[in-house]
Structure formats: structure tokens, C-alpha cells
């Protein structure tokens, strides 16, 4: 179990640029989640996948955000035309669902985005 891996750890970009983050979940986990955390707040749900299917998107996920999980393994989160309000920690998590209750989420260490 190598854990959930996120890349990059830090990203600084100028307003208006596009950015893409990658998440590699724990290999046997079939669910993958994206959360966003701002200073002083808990993580907020953005979206999740079961295998390659994106099953739910939060209202927080504007049209500038898109997430993919093309082969049911790693996932990417892209933000187009970044705004200063997008500055946050973006957390990826994965879990295995094979019982009535999911296994708890295992989080990666996050990608910290700073938009200048």
C-alpha cells in the first residue's frame, strides 16, 4: 500500500492560466474523490468517480473545472482560466466499496494551488 499520490505538491500560476493536477489512488480502490480545502475550513466535496464513471459533481465545481478518470485508475483535475478564488489545497482521496459501508477515505497530501 503506497498510499494516495498527488502531483504536483505545489503549483503557483497566474490568473487566467490553466492548471492540471494528477492523483494516483491506492491500486485496489475503485472510488476516487476530489475535495478542496481553504484556510480555516474543512475539506469540501467536489466530485467522485466509481471506476471511470463520474457519479456526482458538487455545485462548487464550476464550468471551469473538469475531472477525468479515463481508465479507472489515476485521475486528473483541470482548472481553466484560473481565478484568485481558486487558491486552495486540492485533496484527492480513494476508497474501496465492496460492503454496505465503504472503507474510509484515504487522502493524499494534496496539491496547494496559489493563483497570483
Partner 1 sequence: DQQVKQNSPSLSVQEGRISILNCDYTNSMFDYFLWYKKYPAEGPTFLISISSIKDKNEDGRFTVFLNKSAKHLSLHIVPSQPGDSAVYFCAASVGSSNTGKLIFGQGTTLQVKP
Q: Kindly list the residues in this chain that would bind partner 1 in the complex (CB under 8 A).
A: 4, 31, 33, 40-45, 48, 56, 91, 93, 95, 97, 100-102, 104-110
Minimum separation from the CB atom of position 83 to partner 1 (A)? 23
Residue 20 or 106: which CB sits closer to partner 1? 106
Minimum separation from the CB atom of position 43 to partner 1 (A)? 5
Minimum separation from the CB atom of position 20 to partner 1 (A)? 19
Provide DSSP, the chain.
Answer: ----EEE-SEEEE-TT--EEEEEE--TT--EEEEEEE-TTS--EEEEEEETTEEEEE-TTS-TTEEEE-TTSS-EEEEESS--GGG-EEEEEEEE---SSSPPPPEE---EEEEE-
Amino acid at each position: 500500500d503506497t498510499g494516495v499520490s498527488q502531483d504536483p505538491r505545489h503549483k503557483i500560476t497566474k490568473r487566467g492560466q490553466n492548471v492540471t493536477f494528477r492523483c494516483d489512488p491506492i491500486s485496489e480502490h475503485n472510488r476516487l474523490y476530489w475535495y478542496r480545502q481553504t484556510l480555516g475550513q474543512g475539506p469540501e466535496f467536489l466530485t467522485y468517480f466509481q471506476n471511470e464513471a463520474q457519479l456526482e459533481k458538487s455545485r462548487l465545481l464550476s464550468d471551469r473545472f473538469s475531472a477525468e478518470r479515463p481508465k479507472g485508475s489515476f485521475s486528473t483535475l483541470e482548472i481553466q482560466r484560473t481565478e484568485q478564488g481558486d487558491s486552495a489545497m486540492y485533496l484527492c482521496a480513494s476508497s474501496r466499496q465492496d460492503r454496505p459501508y465503504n472503507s474510509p477515505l484515504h487522502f493524499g497530501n494534496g496539491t496547494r494551488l496559489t493563483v497570483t
